[in-house]
Structure 1
Amino acid sequence: MPTKIFLTGATGYIGGSVLQRLLSHPDSKSFQITTLVRNPDKAKLLESFGVKPVIGSHSDTEKLEALAAEANVVFTVADCDDVAAAKAILAGHKKRHAETGEVPILIHTSGTGVISDNAAGMFASDVIYSDLDIPLIESLPPSAPHRPVDILVSQAGQEGYVRTHIILPSTIYGIAKGPLFDKGVSNSHSVQVPALIKASYDRGQGGMVGEGKNIWPCVHIDEISELYTVVYDAATANPNTPQGREGFYFGESDHYLMYDVAKTVAKVLVELGRGQSEEPTTFTPEEMQKYFGGSAYLGSNSRCKAARSRAIGWKTTKTTKDMLASIKPETEALIKNGRISEAMGSRDNY
């Protein structure tokens, strides 16, 4: 029997990387993968990879429900804050369960932004979350970033008509590579570090929020995409794999001080003849508004440990040193591709 997989976000940075993992999975010949895409040209390209594209978007809730109802496994790797889309997909799961008795699997993308604070770059928090400490996660306010959808997904798993697993990537870095990216199907750049690079490039000087004293976890794109297949393999092999209330899986390989990232950006800009000093300076209120819509998000803390993720077999080898080393090639690629001057301030799944 084939495994019917429905995936959202195939043209994105994380989603494209996850799709590539599925296409090269040892069981890929038994997969029937359907994706939801907006761009007809990219849909045709996806067909060449043996993927079935369906033209549509998150606003097509009836389509989302129908596609989820047809699938054994759903990967949601697009907008993690779209409550209506999440409800539609969960409705599809409930319909499938009612009609077949099967308990399908949902692997949903959230982000460690859910545990971010309001430090504004002025201090490092000593609070470190663990994906094994469910009471601490549940103490987060319902208004926290990503939390409304996380709650819906977690509760659905508790109700028993679907097994839910929530992956929470942190700061993802590295240029995504592979056939889907070579063909222009998927976006090869992340958002968080490139946002800092773009703002700093535009102002001609490496910048930071406040004093850059805040701390975040980080993970390479290859390693976070592997976490999705590790969770998939665990969930399909063992129905007792932690899910529902306990189904939280952080994507963290190391932690970094934001000042170190800002200083590396400043140094790279000097090397490229764009920056004035290797010492980063604080974004002014006007710059914060211009580049980040007034948000001090890049000055927040988000500290965590991926204990549950590692307990089911996820392994990481890359460190903060690798992240800092990725900044120069990322900057050069953004310049080469003409993306350095694109509008800033958007937020990825982190």
Structure 2
Amino acid sequence: MSSEKTCIFITGATGYIGGAVLERLLKHPSASTFDITALVRNEDKARILESKFPVKVVRGTHQDFDKLEALAENAHVVYHCADSDDVPLAKALLSGLRKRHANTGDLPILIHTSGASVVTDDARGEYAAGIVYSDLNVEQLKSIPATNMHRNVDLLVLEADTQGYARSYIVFPSTIYGIAEGALFDAGVSNRHSIQIPSLIKAALARNHAGMVGKGQARWPDVHIDDVADLYIVLFDAIVSGRSGHGWEGFYFGENGEHSWYQISRAIGDALVAFGISKDPEPTAFTAEELAEYFGAESVSRYYSGSNSRLKGDRGRAIGWKPKYTTEDLLRSIRPEVGAFVQLQQGHKA
């Protein structure tokens, strides 16, 4: 990155994580030296983004492989914050990085977004168990089965590093929570809400009662959207200053606490009572029919909120990441999140 401008290409800028990362890149102390490009599918959002923010916008989809390849080839740094399971998308980005290295000798940087689902089990809410993975334990990381969720793309990203045409880093957010804030979100460019907790909120509103998978005993790590976005920037700064390894030494778990799924569902139940939607805050188990209706026909999606994932984000802390929000903040965040969806639901009915 010796040129005057650092060319950054970001996917997922209109999403929850990507929007929060882009928000911080635009506020970075070195933002004046960044030349940021984002791929955007939605025309209205593309127009707002390019008119109100110092971002170059390219219209396109994740199926525009030639376009994705060219955008990656032109970038010193690629932030991949979109679909973590899209193999053809990842291959297009990697092909572009390979071409850049072959044609310029530059060693581009890829910061890929995976997820804590990479180590989930099939507990279906019945128990809390599982190995606790540290992102500093490389042998433990290598032992994760290739068939696990997200692992197919993660291994492609790692192989690029092994082959030497890119320096790769992977961020693994856990249960992300909090209503995202900032200019991009205020402008309607990026999505304010996560997926995991809102999916449980929407199901609870549909049945007028909080629900959970099985007994809700399985456990997951959690991280606030502001903290995980900060991790991406702390990592970027560490890469630039030579303080971070890459490849297998470039795993970063986004984690600052752990919750049971029962705690999440009970907090939703408390909120439903507070809003006069339910009289009983105690969550009940989803029926098989409800699981299929609210979460999809596939077993992985149906029982997702009943799985265990046990992670410790030690590597990020070792390079200066200082997450400040805790599991208590997670539980406090649920009532306003429920309130936002209640308001949205009422708006649709009006």
Common fold: TM-score over 0.5? yes
Partner of 2:156: helix, strand, or coil?
helix
Within a 5 Å distance, the mapping from 1:70-89 to structure 2 comes to 70-89=74-93
Contact 2:210/2:282 (8 A) holds in 1: yes
Distance in 2 separating the partners of 1:293 and 1:97:
41
For 1:119-138, list aligned pairs within 5 A.
Answer: 119-138=123-142
Other-structure match for 1:290: 293
The Cα of 1:46 is off from its aligned counterpart by 1.0
- CA deviation after TM superposition for structure 1 residue 139, in Å: 1.7
- Give the counterpart letter for 2:330 in structure 1: M
- Match for 2:183 among 179, 185, 198? 179
Q: Please report how far the alpha carbon of residue 325 of structure 1 lies from its aligned counterpart in structure 2 after TM superposition.
A: 0.3
Q: Which residue of 1 aligns with 2:67?
A: 63
1:11-30 map, 5 Å: 11-30=14-33
1:251-266 to 2 correspondences below 5 Å: 251-266=254-269
Gaps of 5+ in 1: 342-350
Corresponding position of 1:211? 215
User: Does structure 1 retain, via aligned residues, the 8 Å contact 2:7–2:75?
Assistant: yes
Deviation at 1:283, TM superposition (A): 0.4
SS in 2 for 1:167: strand
Helix, strand or coil at the partner of 1:337? helix
Matched, 1:280 2:283: yes
- State the distance in 2 between where 1:159 and 1:313 align: 29
Cα distance, 1:339 vs structure 2: 9.0
Cα distance in structure 1, aligned partners of 2:286 and 2:305? 11
Equivalent runs, 1:303-342 vs 2, <5 Å: 303-338=310-345
Paired AA for residue 36 in structure 1: L
1:241 pairs with one of 226, 244, 267: 244
Residues 69-111 of structure 1, C-alpha deviations (whole Å, 9 max, x = no match): 0000000000000111111111111111111111010000000
SS of the aligned residue for 1:218 comes to strand
Aligned residue number for residue 164 of structure 1? 168
Find runs of 4+ consecutive structure 1 residues off by over 2 angstroms: 337-341
Tell me the secondary structure at the aligned position of residue 345 of structure 2.
coil
The separation in 1 between residues aligned to 2:244 and 2:160, in whole angstroms, is: 16
What is the one-letter code of the residue matched to 2:17? Answer: I
For the Cα contact (< 8 Å) 1:201–1:275, is it kept in 2? Answer: no
Q: What is the distance in 1 between the residues matched to 2:332 and 2:346?
A: 20
**Residues 154, 247 of structure 1: 8 Å contact kept:** no
SS of 2:221's partner is strand
- The residue type paired with residue 3 of structure 1 is T
CA–CA distance in structure 2, aligned partners of residues 338 and 34 of structure 1: 35
In percent, how many aligned pairs have the same letter?
Answer: 53
Distance 2:33 2:184 in 1: 20
- Cα offset for 1:286? 0.7
**Paired residue secondary structure (1:274):** coil
Query: Aligned AA for 1:40?
Result: E
For these two proteins, the number of residue pairs brought into alignment is: 341
Taking the aligned partners of 1:138 and 1:97, their CA distance within structure 2 comes to: 26
RMSD: 1.4
Shift, 1:126, TM fit: 4.1
Choose which of 22, 25, 33 in structure 1 pairs with 2:36: 33
